[in-house]
Chain A
Amino acid sequence: MRQRLPALVSLVAVAAVLTALPFVLSSYNTSLVTQVGIFFIAVLGLNILTGYSGQISIGHGAFMAIGGYTTAVMSRDHHTDLIVTMLMALAICFVLGLLVGIPALRLSGVYLALATFALAISIPQLPLQWSTFLGGTGGVQSSNPDVRFLWHTAPAMPERWLYGTAWAAAALLFLAAWLILRGRVGRAFRAIRDSEIAATASGVELPVYKTLAFGISAAYAGVAGSLFVLATNGFAQPTEFGVILSLQLLVGAAVAGLGSLWGVLVGAAFVGLLPQVSTSVPVIGSDHGRDVVFGMMVVIVMLLLPEGIAGLLARLRLLVRA
């Protein structure tokens, strides 16, 4: 218990800060931290897949799209409660993730990565095909009254609902991830990551756990996608879910590194905040800052921390112990 204390204390501290922030920050800055929460969920999911079970996906933007459209369409057509749509997104993406995980068993390494990349490119095309139902390029606008509540009153208010929902979801999913990973499932995942052959030899049923990892990570991405659409004023449109989104998730997961949930927070902040912040860099200007500064930062961070924040923390821990 004494060993756990520092971790618990820092957890409580972070929770306290996150709870206080929306009351201290301006509405716009609050929405930036909301983005971090959204990416936290998505990167957490991707981390479970990549970091813990060793399968690479550059396609989770597609699951975010599916989750986001679920929320928008259900809200538009049936005025479903937004939290309920998020649960629906979770369930639908879990099932779809399992379905993707099955053929993924045949592929490995870079082939899997590129196959999921193909997914990321293809899925956003589908709303263009079924444009009456899925809005085409005109997008789908959520119409749930809760969403409109966001913009009713003075500017200071609206962001807090979304912020609270996003970070509450993040906390719950974080807890869920922690429970999953410390149990049998987590051990199976780690065994698979370290050596598939050894894991099979030890009795771990590869197909079950690998597919499960896909399902779980897709479910997380679905919830993140749901919140992502809500953060875009409830408007879902194909351009929001381009290839860049999947690449951003991958970057976030890489910055996070393996095996550290703190890393996930930093990774999420990196991809959630940096692109917006980059537009304020002088000289380069707001038009080009987003690409030039962010791109440069990605390169630099990876050069300095090839194993991500998790690697950094692991090394620091060694230093502290020494």
Chain B
Amino acid sequence: MEAYLDNSSTTKVYKEAVEKMQEAMEVEYGNPSSLHKKGVIAEEYVKEAKKVIANTLKVQEKEIYFTSGGTESNNLAIIGTALANKRAGMHIITSSIEHPSVTNPMEYLKEQGFTITYLPVDKKGCILLDKLEEAMTEDTILVSIMQVNNEIGSVQPLEEISAIIKKKNPKAFFHVDGIQGYGKYVIRPKKMGIDLYSVSGHKIHGPKGVGFLYVNEKVKIKPILFGGGQQKGLRSGTENIPGISGLCVASKKAYEQFESKIKHLYELREYFTEQLLQLEGVFINGMEEGKGAPHIVSASFDGVRSEVLLHSLEEREIYVSAGSACSSNKPSISQTLTAIGVKKEHLDGTIRFSFSHLTTKEELEYTIEVLKQLLPMLRKYRRM
């Protein structure tokens, strides 16, 4: 039996999305900037995708910009907003558990003279709201906070955060990295006070290499790529029509039968954490039952190295991540796990299981069975 429990790394692409993409490559392969019919048809694909996606967020179509994925969306949101607003101030706030595609643009801006405040988090991985209130100044132009943490699944109270921002400095913009949140939560940027929202296609059963950024029309933002002036000059480059059509299908399907899918995910999570906690020497990181994201379970295992456990599971066709997969090609201690105070001996023994609505209970039962066999064996051969 195969159990793919690494859906926060990437997901299987919907068949319907693949079909639409194939059509966009083989039949309607025009360039939307071309003046002829083929171009007009290709442009229709982009318009359709904007309409569908805008509808999932209840925003305007013109507020959706297509990018090459989550990393570019975050870079554009942060660097683009910072550069466009630096006359108003040079201070930016973010959290200490962000993805590298947020922290590295922040570090880049720091080199350019901006001041960056990294907010601490509590043991559950939630930012400390009073610290946010303290950090906000006249000079703050941007606050960037992730919706769902990719390593431990902690969820930030976005509405409370935006209320604090608007109270302390109504001119500051609020960016949310929604890469792990879109499709798992209903997002209403206008109501929730979110000015920019980043999404990646391949985390929601869409293709890799495509994503979008919602930019509220009142946000002052500059491009970070320069070229032919596509997408109102904010994101030059011929639109990735196959990717955008695939993303369109995936976004639409993400919010179909939404409640039953989320219910299914919570049931999976509840079952899985319960079972894990019955095993000896297993600890769950992040938020308690019912509060964290429905699709992520981070567990630390006493006396087992995550890499060894990962490869042992892999031998039995169970696929998981050690720490955060996006950065696990350079083994380093996870910032997020350190920030939430995971014990030193557990930093090296933490596994992330992440589900999709396609995950079945049988896969989890199988995984628990395998863990029951593996853990005693692996603990027998402890590293010295």
Chain B binds chain A: no
Give B contacts to A, CB under 8 Å: none
Give A contacts to B, CB under 8 Å: none
